[in-house]
Amino acid sequence: MQRVLLLQKSTDKDDAKEHDIRKGYRSLGATASAALQSKKLSDVEVLVSSKVAGNHLGVFENSLSLANYEFVFKKQPDESEEKKE
């Protein structure tokens, strides 16, 4: 079974500053990470529209990775994991 998570970013204003655009992609990355974690998925494929600029894709990927890192490596160990050690 394959699940699909569709994320859409709202259109940026014509006078939007680069900082605000990057902030939108950071927010989208964190949202994606939270949604994937709630589904307890560990293996995903990310498909991106060609309309997304490469530097903005990097911002999204960085945010996704950092949010996932905090979840995976900073969470409290389960009791079953503690017994194994």
Given this model, what pLDDT does residue 17 score? 92
Can you spell out the DSSP letters for 38-55? Answer: HTT---------TTS-HH
Q: In this predicted model, what pLDDT tens digit does every residue of 54-65 receive, in sequence order? A: 888 889 888 888
Structure-token pair, residue 47: 């498909």
The model's pTM: 0.67
pLDDT at 42 over 80: no
Closest C-alpha among 72, 68, 76, 69 to residue 34: 68
Structure-token pair, residue 72: 């995976």
Residue with tokens 């994606």: 32
Mean pLDDT value across residues 68-85: 61
